[in-house]
A = this chain, B = another copy of it.
Amino acid sequence: MLKEKYNQYSFILDRTARRVKQFAQTAFAQNNFDLTVDQWTAMRIIHENSAMTNKELAELCGKDQPTFTRIIDLLIKKGLAERAVHPSDRRCLTLRITENGVTKINQIAPKVAEFRMQAWQNLSEEDFKDFVRILDTIYTNLTIKDE
């Protein structure tokens, strides 16, 4: 029964992450952003790492390639991103946020930050540090070693 608590921790982690995501998703919908949270994350990461290949960006987003491809497809369909061939390796793709996409990012980024803040009330700077450190430890614990 000693190990039972790990089950509980996993549950708490999952439950909290789900609520944070749902909260953001609801705010997105109410403000007619026409984006899912994952699409928004992808947009931000592509925008901030414009030189990277598709594969690297997928990894940064924490998505596997087919999932990432589909997210990009949706962004392209909305006219927010576009694919371009890699200058030196024609297997690779580079992704770019379109002009419309950049406009959208600039429009909604401050509002998103506003929504996000609500989750982090009643926590100290010390808590934030612990939060990041603990979650990063967990993440690293489950990373495949040989990479």
Q: Mark contacts of A27-48 with chain B using CB atoms, 8 A cut-off: 1 yes-contact digit, 0 otherwise.
A: 0000000000100010010000
Task: Determine whether the beta carbon of A123 is less than 8 Å from that of B134.
Answer: yes
Closest to A115 in B: B6
Closest to A135 in B: B16
Q: Of residues A37, A41, A139, which shows the largest number of chain B Cβ atoms within 10 Å of its Cβ?
A: A139
| A14 on the B face (CB < 8 A) | yes
The dominant DSSP class at the A interface is: helix
A residues 98-147 in Cβ contact with B at 8 Å: 110, 112-114, 116-123, 127-128, 130-132, 134-139, 141-143
27 A-B pairs in the complex with CB atoms less than 8 angstroms apart = A3-B110, A3-B113, A3-B116, A4-B113, A5-B128, A6-B113, A6-B119, A7-B44, A9-B132, A10-B119, A12-B136, A13-B17, A13-B20, A14-B17, A14-B21, A15-B62, A16-B138, A17-B17, A17-B18, A19-B62, A19-B143, A118-B141, A118-B142, A122-B137, A127-B130, A127-B137, A131-B134
